[in-house]
Amino acid sequence: MERLVDLIISGALSLVFYLFLFFKIKTSLKLRSYVKEHEWLQPNWICVWRTFMCLVGILIYFTSQSGLSLFLGILLFTVGACLDAVDGLIARECELITEFGKFLDPFCDKISYLAPLLVFSYQGVCSHGLVWWLITVEFMGQFLVRGLLRRLKKSVAAKWVGKLKAVACFALVIYCVLLDDGAEFSNFSNHLLGLCIALSIGSS
């Protein structure tokens, strides 16, 4: 299971990267000041960078044939997904939380995990119909529900259900990678899709 090894290595590298940033941003006043002075390192820009990384990783993964290219695609996607936790950390520690960021962060999450799930569904790895249900619920929550909450002057920041849903969706992408590699275990992708849809409704 070559891709399992790729996922383990990518996950380990991403974890080390996150822990390093977590420690540095928590302990270094100089680093926090540096982030505040450089817009491209601030949370909203990190959302853009991480989404770009995920999409490039997805493109490389689905268009490559060699093992090295597949690993690069998985690594870029995994690091991009890991940065989902970094932007929130920096926003809190550097006091850079904004209303636009509360909207942008979950929107970037959706783009990052819905794109590969849609491709996997066309490849038959998971249900095409359920993925479209997830896309519909996700974007209704993003634009209709959040728009209503803003009109009512309520917070649109992600709550714990939304964070759990994002983790479940990213985990589903990883599971689909294993299935795509011909892993010899039962395909529970549609059950996980149902869970993601339920969590998406709950987060809305």
pLDDT of residue 145: 67
Please tell me the distance from the alpha carbon of residue 12 to that of residue 146, in angstroms, as a whole number. Answer: 35
Please tell me the distance from the alpha carbon of residue 136 to that of residue 197, in angstroms, as a whole number. Answer: 10
The predicted-structure confidence for 75-132, as pLDDT tens digits, reads as follows: 999 999 988 888 888 988 988 888 888 888 888 999 999 999 999 999 999 999 999 9
User: What's the pTM value of the predicted model, to 2 decimals?
Assistant: 0.88
Band the pLDDT of 158: cuts 50, 70, 90.
low
Band the pLDDT of 193: cuts 50, 70, 90.
very high
Distance of CA 179 to the CA centre of its chain: 19
Mean pLDDT taken over the chain: 87
Band the pLDDT of 1: cuts 50, 70, 90.
low
Number of other CB atoms surrounding residue 160 within 10 Å: 8
pLDDT of residue 154: 66
Is the distance from CB of 42 to CB of 35 less than 8 angstroms?
A: yes
Is the distance from CB of 21 to CB of 34 less than 8 angstroms?
A: no
Nearest CA among 115, 92, 102, 111 for reference residue 44? 102
Percent helix, strand, coil in the chain (nearest 5)? 85, 0, 15
Please tell me the distance from the alpha carbon of residue 91 to that of residue 102, in angstroms, as a whole number. Answer: 10
pLDDT of residue 75: 94
Res 183 pLDDT > 70:
no
